[in-house]
Amino acid sequence: MLTTLAIVFVFGSMVMIHEFGHYIVAKWIGVKVLEFSFGFGPKIVGYQGKETFYCLRLIPLGGFVKLHGMDAEVDANGRSIVAPSQDVRSFMNKPVWQRMAVIAAGPIMNFILAVILFVTVFAFLGIPSSGDSNLIGSLLKGKPAATAGIQPGDRIIAVDQVKTPDWTSLTEAIHAKPDQLLTLTIERMNEKQVQTLSVKTEKDAQTGYGMIGIAPEVIYEHASILEATHYGIERSVDFTKLIMVTLTQMVTGKIPAEVGGPVMIAQAIGEGAHQGLASLLGLTGVLSIQLGLINLFPIPALDGSRLVFLLIEGLRGKPLNPEKENMIHLVGFVLLMMLMLAVTYKDVLRLFVKAG
């Protein structure tokens, strides 16, 4: 139940804030908004406002805002109609820069959402910093420490009988012995006795250090609103840079193209929800940045491609053929849906392999 609620919260907040960006800027510049929809496919429930139809649809993997004059519309008899050229509330009759503002507003709102979420975490929970005690805060799955049975909350008080009273001495002892068997003296939380465990380190490819996959405890220090805002913006910028670098490396082949679909994202959201509210909000912020960045890619059917077409129109002084542009977006949408299905299929296969 917790995972389901978390998934609804994460997807719902990202999609709604994105579409709200398109919606509010369109309203601001005087474009008539015909529909504000969450999800795709058949309608579940809807409400007809003064001029906008607000709708919840069956497939919760996105959403859309339908603007008057942006695409061909259908009248009561099912015939395709185009907004009159003199209609001041038609999207196509607005200056290029205003139309670009409407399109760009969606991704921008995703970045704003990320900042708000990070600021919220820092304002209410504090600024996170790594503790310097010998207490294990978290473990990396599949790494030597987790495999050996070490648990979060354990204290490693000695490595090969050499005392490690703090995190610095602990990591120095482990780093100094790559690809070697270590004897760790463990003091388990809520247990008076100590025990020893044997762990073989892995050699880090970049540094050559010995690693076992442990992380220190995280300590939250109180922060003012100004400090939280500063760290929230800083964290958003850092994650944006990291995602851009990672995507670039994947495209250029420097790192494997590991693409996760809705199933993998849902799994990550479930894990984040069980780790606590701070983890869930932080994950939502990162995913919102990813959504904003991906939507800016010049891929047909995404906001980035529409911005490219508008930029070309501004340079040419006249729009491209609407029918050809709509066909390009349609083909792009179909290809995106096919890619999503393929990635989802791959995610499901991963789950079965993992279960086996």
Q: What is the pLDDT along the chain (356 residues), one digit of tens a residue?
A: 677 777 778 888 888 899 999 999 999 999 999 999 988 788 899 999 889 999 988 877 678 898 988 765 555 555 555 555 568 888 888 999 999 999 999 999 999 999 999 999 888 888 877 788 888 888 888 889 888 888 888 898 899 989 999 999 999 999 999 999 999 898 887 776 788 889 999 988 778 899 999 988 888 888 888 989 998 999 899 988 888 887 777 667 666 656 555 556 666 666 766 667 777 888 888 889 988 988 898 888 788 888 988 998 888 888 777 667 767 767 766 666 665 666 555 555 554 544 44
- The set of residues, in sequence order, having a beta carbon less than 8 Å from that of 152 and lying 6+ positions away, is 136, 137, 138, 139
Q: Quick one: pLDDT at residue 294?
A: 86
DSSP H or E stretch at residue 324:
helix 322-355
Q: Quick one: pLDDT at residue 355?
A: 43
CB 143 within 8 A of CB 202: yes
Measured CA to CA, the distance from residue 343 to residue 348 in angstroms comes to 9
Backbone φ and ψ of 322, nearest 5°: -55, -40
Residue ranges of domains in the chain, CATH in brackets: 2-124+278-355 (no CATH), 131-219 (2.30.42.10)
- The set of residues, in sequence order, having a beta carbon less than 8 Å from that of 83 and lying 6+ positions away, is 68, 69, 73, 90, 91, 92, 93
Measured CA to CA, the distance from residue 170 to residue 162 in angstroms comes to 9
The CA distances from residue 347 to 4, 250, 260, in Å, are 18, 18, 7
Measured CA to CA, the distance from residue 308 to residue 310 in angstroms comes to 5
Measured CA to CA, the distance from residue 17 to residue 288 in angstroms comes to 9
